[in-house]
Chain A
């Protein structure tokens, strides 16, 4: 039965709410990733330090990042709330934020787009019953125009300055973490958030907008690489291939290809959820990767999306490949070593009869010998991971508990 293998997920409340909010943030960015990549390519090629410096073509770099991309984000955010009309007023309103600022206003766009659409939604509800037949078009066009214009002014005078302060503060906080060599600690939060399917929310909702501001200033940003490094997941999958529960091993090579080359990180999350203590392996790998990026001064021009090795290489600035590749390799190696250790180098796997079918893989995600472990995992985790670990357990405990 589907039910017995995949029990219903508890913890509907907090976890699902965070996922949903994060999903909205990422939902404004992700449909526009193509535009980000276009900008990344144009930047990498035509800026003065790029591959083919060209002043005329390079003139596109600034308007795209400062005007086009915030408009697309606000448009998409508006559309999510109130369809095409919401999209239009969102795009209009964001102009106030854009013009009133000299940094890329992604966060501002993510606020004002949906907000303006929401206001129009209520205005539409108000006018709907009161409009005389035949005047619908007139009323619709002017309510949208007025709401858009007013919100553009609000954006310039109210939202823009606030967001600028927040962005500057966040940028300073990141700077402080880098200066004090503390940035690798970010992995302690990021890796558990990832496997709880907050990967897009973290990367596109939070790190991406901050990274872009940094990238415009310094030509590259390390923030794009905190979540999207394919190294930790690859190391984990290699460890699973060699030392994981035998029934699961056959599926890992395909998962590695999809993960590392295709950039779909979701594929490795279930492997962590089945053996929760492996979160420590990917945290170690992630932190080691960030540390390597940090000491080599690596950074990317734009967000690599999906987190594939190809996307990474495409948005690496000229001359920056060494640090980027080193960080991925180190993350892979450390994650592999730590995960292998956590899997006991395959000890206790020998007694099991070799079963190769995926069906078998499903029925015995945890060998019986491992049954007492979940308790230990929980202790370890709550110590290390803090509140993210709490959410972890809700999902993770179930498949395991059933086996025990």
Chain B
């Protein structure tokens, strides 16, 4: 499984089906939480995850497609849109240092 050290995370992509709805919402939440860390957070459709993404965040229902469109990337799947522990943990890891597996 791919993993990445928190120091190497510069760009997080939040992906959803159309890249216009839920991903925008979660991306703006993440952006606020990561404001002081210098990590950029962007949102895209799950079929168009850019190559320079370090970590991909998407709902577990779309994880299979994310794996196809961004093979080998660190993927953080989550299940609930508000306060999911997988997302909380990602933010904590970036802030406190550590390794993100997935």
* Candidates A8, A20, A269, A358; contact of B84 at CB < 8 Å: A358
The residues of A that contact B17 with a CB separation of less than 8 Å are 19, 23, 26, 197, 199-201, 266
A197 touches B59 (CB 8 A): yes
* Candidates B21, B25, B67, B79; contact of A270 at CB < 8 Å: B79
Residue of chain B at shortest CB distance from A363: B85
Contact with B along A244-266 (1 / 0, CB 8 A): 00001001001100100011101
* Candidates B20, B46, B47, B77; contact of A2 at CB < 8 Å: B77
B46-102: which residues lie under 8 A (CB-CB) from chain A?
46-47, 59-65, 67-68, 76-86, 88-90, 101-102
Q: Which of A9-17, A100-108, A374-382 lies at the binding interface?
A: A9-17
Give CA–CA (A58, B102) in the complex, Å: 55
Total count of chain B residues near the partner, CB < 8 A: 35
Whether A192 is near chain B, meaning CB under 8 Å from some CB there, is no
A9 touches B79 (CB 8 A): no
The residues of A that contact B86 with a CB separation of less than 8 Å are 2, 5-6, 362
The residues of B that contact A196 with a CB separation of less than 8 Å are 61
Q: How far is the CB of B80 from chain A (nearest CB, A)?
A: 5
* Candidates B21, B22, B85; contact of A359 at CB < 8 Å: B85
Give CA–CA (A195, B16) in the complex, Å: 13
Whether A361 is near chain B, meaning CB under 8 Å from some CB there, is yes
Give CA–CA (A269, B17) in the complex, Å: 13
A199-256: which residues lie under 8 A (CB-CB) from chain B?
199-201, 248, 251, 254-255
The residues of B that contact A20 with a CB separation of less than 8 Å are 47, 65, 68
Residue of chain A at shortest CB distance from B89: A2
Whether A286 is near chain B, meaning CB under 8 Å from some CB there, is no
Q: How far is the CB of B42 from chain A (nearest CB, A)?
A: 16
A12 touches B47 (CB 8 A): no
A262-283: which residues lie under 8 A (CB-CB) from chain B?
262-264, 266-267, 269-271, 273-274
Q: A23-B45, A30-B20, A267-B22 are in contact. List 7 more A-B contacts (CB 8 A).
A: A3-B101, A197-B61, A258-B81, A266-B22, A270-B80, A358-B84, A362-B79
A-B contact pairs, 7 of them (CB 8 A): A16-B64, A264-B22, A264-B25, A266-B16, A267-B22, A358-B83, A399-B79
Identify the 5 closest CB pairs spanning chains A and B, nearest first.
A358-B83, A362-B85, A266-B22, A16-B64, A12-B64
Which B residues are closer than 8 A to A by beta carbons? Answer: 16-18, 20-22, 25, 45-47, 59-65, 67-68, 76-86, 88-90, 101-102
